[in-house]
């Protein structure tokens, strides 16, 4: 990566911190709405056989959120890339993050798995579009999004199963 | 505005349609969570003397969402602006939209005016930062955000009053 006038090094690190802050704010808000429901409303739902134990979700999401922020950061500072391409890729990133932020209040907050399923399907499309666009700009950023896309695919199936079973 | 290779004219209109679609999806999701609570939970709350009649909110928000999308579009396609500046301004735009999308599920969905107050204060900061950054890039975009900033200021006071009175 080349250093340009636009993005001197200290500013680059500032952007990474900013992205981590926003992503982990979404993560914290999600946990805040989710945790009180795990042992109450969620415990009472019929779960499919492939439902992972609850302790899995915390470390998985924390890792995925960190990877997501680093991926967006790499695309943000990818000087080689065309500005318009980068702007569109980041728009999809923000869109998927917005949908990610909405999913927990809908599923756990409103206790509406059916409505949350609509959110996560649109979110899956946005994550897939982000992954494709990130790959075009920075290969590492693309790969950082692949585990997230896999996890959201799994989460979509899980959400659909919970909706069907309850 | 000059036409460049990066953003040919048809693509520009596509971007406007995309931004309008995302903004009005947020708007629709907000209404969807809000409307069933207006005549039920919200009707039962003590409101301050300056609380506007309910019919005001629909047309005001519709207008503000449209202005918001057009403002973001002008910044997006502002070829004269520095790419890094534009990217940062749009990041603040997405951040404020994310907080905007979360506010209704928190206030009306979870029925938590106190928690919603935290969201709207952070949102106010994000809207203010977006307005300042939009002004630097495109004066029209900046002005398109001013009524929104005023309305969010008012909404913050209203949210705080409702929290205090209930």
* A interface residues, B as partner, C-beta within 8 Å: 6-7, 11, 15, 18, 22, 26, 29, 33, 76, 82-84, 86-88, 90-91, 94-95, 97-98, 101-102, 105-106, 109-110
Establish if B28 belongs to a structural domain: yes
pTM comes to 0.88
Establish if B1 belongs to a structural domain: no
Work out how many domains chain A is built from and give that number: 1
Establish if B111 belongs to a structural domain: yes
Q: What is the pLDDT of residue B128?
A: 98
Residue range of the domain that includes B25: 10-165
Establish if B3 belongs to a structural domain: no
Establish if B4 belongs to a structural domain: no
CATH number at residue A69: 1.20.1260.100
Residues of A in contact with B12 (CB under 8 A): none
pLDDT per position as a tens digit, B25-40: 999 989 988 999 999 9
Establish if B2 belongs to a structural domain: no
- Model ipTM value: 0.82
Establish if B159 belongs to a structural domain: yes
Record: contact B87-A90, CB cut-off 8 A: yes
- If pLDDT is split at 50, 70 and 90, which confidence band does B3 have? very low
Residues of A in contact with B88 (CB under 8 A): 15
Residues of B in contact with A15 (CB under 8 A): 88
Does residue A95 register a pLDDT over 70? yes
pLDDT per position as a tens digit, A112-149: 999 999 999 999 999 999 999 999 999 999 999 999 99
Q: What is the pLDDT of residue B6?
A: 56
**In angstroms, what CA-CA distances link B1 with A35, B5, B77, B142?**
50, 13, 9, 16
């Amino acid at each position: 990566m080349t250093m340009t006038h636009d993005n001197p090094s200290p500013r680059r690190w500032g952007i990474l911190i900013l992205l981590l802050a926003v992503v982990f704010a979404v993560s914290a808000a999600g946990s805040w709405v989710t945790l009180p429901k795990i042992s109450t409303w969620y415990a009472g739902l019929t779960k499919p056989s492939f439902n992972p134990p609850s302790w899995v979700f915390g470390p998985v999401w924390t890792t995925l959120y960190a990877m997501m922020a680093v991926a967006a950061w790499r695309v943000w500072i990818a000087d080689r890339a065309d500005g318009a391409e980068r702007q569109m890729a980041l728009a999809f990133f923000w869109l998927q993050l917005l949908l990610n932020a909405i999913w927990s209040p809908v599923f756990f907050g409103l206790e509406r798995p059916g409505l949350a399923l609509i959110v996560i399907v649109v979110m899956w499309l946005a994550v897939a579009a982000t992954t494709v666009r990130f790959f075009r700009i920075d290969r590492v950023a693309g790969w950082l999004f692949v585990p997230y896309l896999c996890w959201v695919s799994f989460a979509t199936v899980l959400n659909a199963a919970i909706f069907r079973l309850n």
